[in-house]
């Protein structure tokens, strides 16, 4: 099974400068290739990876582009591969540019056979990378498998190396607790609420850290662009954001461990965070041209920051990754009406949710924590999806024409396979 291992690098001054050059060359190749793809698409034509890779080889011999030959060619080719996959997944015009100031430099060495790793002592090890030479890194955990590739990236002033290794593990055919299922409701007040009535929550930034970040943001806004003062403020702001990001990742990993260890079935809501955190459209005043009516943008902006600060998507990704080692089945269901439906009598009424935490059914009088009630409804929807027959086994079943239908079929197929082996089912904005 493929998994990642991340370590802190200890680069020399020469290696740091060369790593910056490699990152800059990969960024330039990404942006140039993306612009070429968009130009072709505007003309109704198409250019693929192999054509661009051939043109990249020719460009290394052009006058003024000798700097391309000075960096590892495999890193540049891997950049074109990543761009090709991003365009195929999101569309050519939805792929973003890589900015020199906003994008962290990152490049990958795709051939694991050319990467040598040696243990130096209890705390340090070193890896040999093409053209970069031997680089030291902090040995905090064993690799645990054969190296497939290595990615070097910078976060703030620190450089890290991430190895993709094959640890040889296999997904268990049967979970240790095959009858345990759980529904997960993600919220703002409590990050994770389960159908068992448990709450998983953590404050990623204290009140003092929020005030400090606001002061740094103010210094950054007041400083002149390109000045040393602005650079210092940006570095300090980046350090604060990196600390919050590490806390968020740690919380996601620990929560994923608990959920996958104790449950065979884990059901999430299929939330579209991007749509939920979109800005509010302005409301023009019909009586005063050029003026606008109040539209609640300030309150919506605060809600957006709170949602992004909780890291909902990161939690689901961590659970899906950890489920490979426990054999848990992770599915996502339609979130419609889960928070206003009574788990006991299935009555749907917006008036049943008295507040953020109180749910009292207007039909049967059932009382429960609102998030726990929603988590129970999510689990019920997930078990109902598991109980559906495999679409391919239906007589005369037709293949869905849209991607949403195909995704539902894949989830149902995975659920059917699981059933054959189991007896049954705000603070600081995110950087």
In sequence order, what are the residues at sequence separation of 6 or more whose Cβ sits closer than 8 angstroms to the Cβ of residue 42?
Answer: none
206: phi then psi, degrees, rounded to nearest 5: -75, 170
Q: How many CB atoms lie within 10 A of CB 263?
A: 28
In sequence order, what are the residues at sequence separation of 6 or more whose Cβ sits closer than 8 angstroms to the Cβ of residue 349?
Answer: 340, 342, 361, 362, 363
Give CA–CA dist 167/142, Å, rounded: 11
> Smallest Cα–Cα separation from 386: which of 340, 341, 423?
423
The first and second tokens of residue 230, run together, are 């602005």
Report yes or no: 150 and 115 within 8 Å, Cβ to Cβ: yes
> Smallest Cα–Cα separation from 154: which of 299, 19, 297, 345?
19
430: phi then psi, degrees, rounded to nearest 5: -65, 130
241 CB-side CA count, 13 A? 15
Give CA–CA dist 104/109, Å, rounded: 17
Q: In the sheet that 158-166 helps form, which strands lie side by side, from edge to edge?
A: 106-109, 146-155, 158-166, 2-10, 133-138, 124-129, 116-119
Annotated catalytic residue: which of 309, 316, 368, 371? Answer: 371
185 is catalytic: yes
371 is catalytic: yes
The first and second tokens of residue 163, run together, are 């190895």
66 is catalytic: no
> Smallest Cα–Cα separation from 48: which of 95, 75, 85, 97?
85
The first and second tokens of residue 114, run together, are 């050319």
Annotated catalytic residue: which of 84, 185, 316, 385? Answer: 185
Task: Give the total residue count for the chain.
Answer: 431
216: phi then psi, degrees, rounded to nearest 5: -65, -40
Give CA–CA dist 428/242, Å, rounded: 11
List, by residue number, the catalytic residues. Answer: 185, 269, 371
């Amino acid at each position: 099974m493929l998994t990642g291992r991340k370590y802190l690098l200890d680069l020399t001054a020469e290696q740091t400068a060369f790593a910056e050059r490699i990152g800059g060359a990969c960024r330039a190749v990404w942006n140039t290739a993306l612009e070429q793809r968009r130009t072709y698409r505007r003309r109704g034509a198409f250019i693929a990876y192999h054509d661009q890779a051939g043109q990249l080889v020719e460009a290394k011999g052009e006058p003024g582009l000798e700097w391309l030959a000075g960096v590892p060619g495999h890193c540049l080719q891997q950049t074109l591969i990543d761009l090709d996959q991003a365009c195929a997944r999101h569309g050519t015009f939805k792929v973003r540019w890589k900015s020199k100031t906003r994008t962290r430099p990152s490049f990958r060495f795709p051939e694991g056979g050319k990467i040598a790793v040696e243990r130096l002592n209890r705390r340090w090890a070193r890896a040999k990378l093409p053209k970069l030479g031997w680089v030291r890194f902090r040995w905090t955990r064993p690799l645990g498998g054969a190296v497939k590739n290595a990615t070097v990236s910078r976060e703030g002033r620190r450089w890290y190396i991430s190895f993709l290794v094959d640890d040889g593990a296999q997904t268990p055919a049967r979970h240790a607790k095959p009858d345990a299922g759980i529904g997960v409701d993600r919220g703002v007040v409590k990050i994770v609420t389960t159908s068992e009535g448990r709450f998983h929550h953590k404050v990623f930034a204290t009140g003092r850290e929020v005030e400090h970040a606001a002061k740094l943001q103010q210094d950054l806004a007041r400083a002149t662009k390109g000045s040393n003062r602005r650079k210092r403020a940006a570095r300090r702001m980046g350090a604060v954001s990196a600390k919050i990001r590490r806390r968020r990742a740690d919380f996601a990993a620990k929560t994923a461990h608990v959920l996958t260890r104790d449950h065979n079935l884990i059901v999430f809501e299929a939330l579209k965070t991007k749509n939920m955190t979109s800005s509010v459209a302005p409301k023009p005043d019909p009586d005063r041209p050029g003026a606008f009516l109040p539209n609640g943008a300030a309150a919506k902006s605060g809600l957006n920051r709170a949602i992004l600060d909780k890291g909902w998507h990161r939690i689901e990704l961590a659970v899906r990754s950890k489920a490979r080692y426990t054999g848990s089945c992770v599915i996502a269901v339609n979130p419609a009406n889960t928070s206003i439906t009574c788990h006991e009598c299935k009555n749907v009424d917006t008036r049943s949710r008295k507040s953020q935490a109180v749910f009292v059914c207007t039909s049967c009088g059932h009382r429960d924590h609102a998030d726990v009630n929603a988590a129970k409804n999510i689990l019920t929807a997930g078990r109902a999806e598991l109980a559906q027959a495999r679409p391919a086994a239906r007589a005369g079943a037709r293949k869905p024409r849209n991607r949403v239908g195909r995704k539902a079929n894949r989830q149902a197929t995975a659920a059917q396979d699981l059933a054959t082996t189991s007896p049954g089912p705000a603070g600081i904005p995110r950087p």
